[in-house]
Amino acid sequence: NIVMAAPMTDAHRRFLQVLMSHGIMEGSEARKLHRCCCETHKVYYAHDKLDDFISAINSHLQPLFMQIRKGMSEGDGRAHYALVNLAETEITKMASDYTENELELFRKTMDLIILSENGFASSTDILNLADQLKTKKMKKKEAEQVLKVFVEDKWLSERNGEYTLHTRCIIEMEQYILSNYQDAARKCNICRSLAIQSQVCESCGIGMHLPCFRKYFRAQAEPRCPQCNDFWSLDIP
């Protein structure tokens, strides 16, 4: 049976255009945009049908190897939506925007973040890599500027001199990271999506996003690992 794609209206087109210009949108912003697009173009609106609305857009994006994907902010657990290009690996997609040595710095920063215990890399450690680049060495001042651009372009997030992967980067690069960092990358035991900032069970090694395990442990009488049932000895922030 051939399943007909839901029709693409001007409301869907407007939603897609705005999302494309932002790159990523927080859930509450996407819901506001959904309402605004439907009301502007007099299309049926239901506040709880955003995911159906996006599915209709995705059915038309499929032949173009693009998709609007939903992901979660590792910091606060809020939903986000990002437009993802499925036809290219994410690092090659970045190649059109950055020079070779900027991309190398990004890859090395990614290594530091993913291989760290807490999902962060300090600016000092990243800047120390700048003069070790194989493509072309960078001065520290230049590297600082490049890091600033990665933050503005929503590939990295920075807090008090510590860098981690931005929600956009995690949504877009999940498959790339899982296949290229097989020994280090792990999925959250609760939501089953990639976990960069996580706590890891000292007994069995499973990981959980901070927002996921906060929610999980809130419902438990005492903190025990959902996998091995051992007492969770780490501090719950």
CATH number, domain containing residue 130: 1.10.10.10
Judged against a pLDDT cut of 70, whether residue 2 lies above it is answered with no
Same domain, yes or no, for 161 and 211? no
**Does residue 205 surpass a pLDDT of 80?**
yes
CB 185 within 8 A of CB 54: no
Check whether 86 has a pLDDT greater than 90.
no
pTM: 0.84
Establish if 106 belongs to a structural domain.
yes
For residue 233, give every residue at least 6 positions away whose Cβ sits within 8 Å of its Cβ, in sequence order, or none: 202
pLDDT averaged over every residue in the chain? 89
Starting at the earlier edge strand, list the strands of the sheet with 24-26.
24-26, 79-85, 66-72
Picking from 172, 196, 215, the residue at the C-terminal end of a domain is: 172
In a domain, 22, yes or no: yes
- Looking at the structure, tell me whether residues 158 and 198 fall in a common domain: no
Q: What is the mean pLDDT of residues 14-31?
A: 95
With respect to residue 78, please indicate whether it lies within any of the assigned structural domains.
no
Q: Of 22, 45, 64, which residue is a domain's last?
A: 64
CB 232 within 8 A of CB 225: yes
How far is 170 from 178, CA to CA, in rounded Å? 10
**Same domain? 113 vs 137:** yes
Q: What is the pLDDT of residues 124-149, one digit of tens each?
A: 999 999 988 998 889 999 999 999 99
Assess if residue 2 is contained within a domain: no
In total, how many domains does the chain have?
Answer: 3
The answer to whether position 191 is within a domain reads yes
Could you give the CA distance from residue 43 to residue 196 in angstroms, rounded to a whole number? 39
Q: Give the domain range for residue 111.
A: 91-172
CB neighbour burial string for 14-34, b if at least 16 within 10 angstroms, e if fewer: bbbeebeebebbbeeebbebb
176 pLDDT band (50/70/90 cuts)?
confident
Is 1 domain-assigned? no
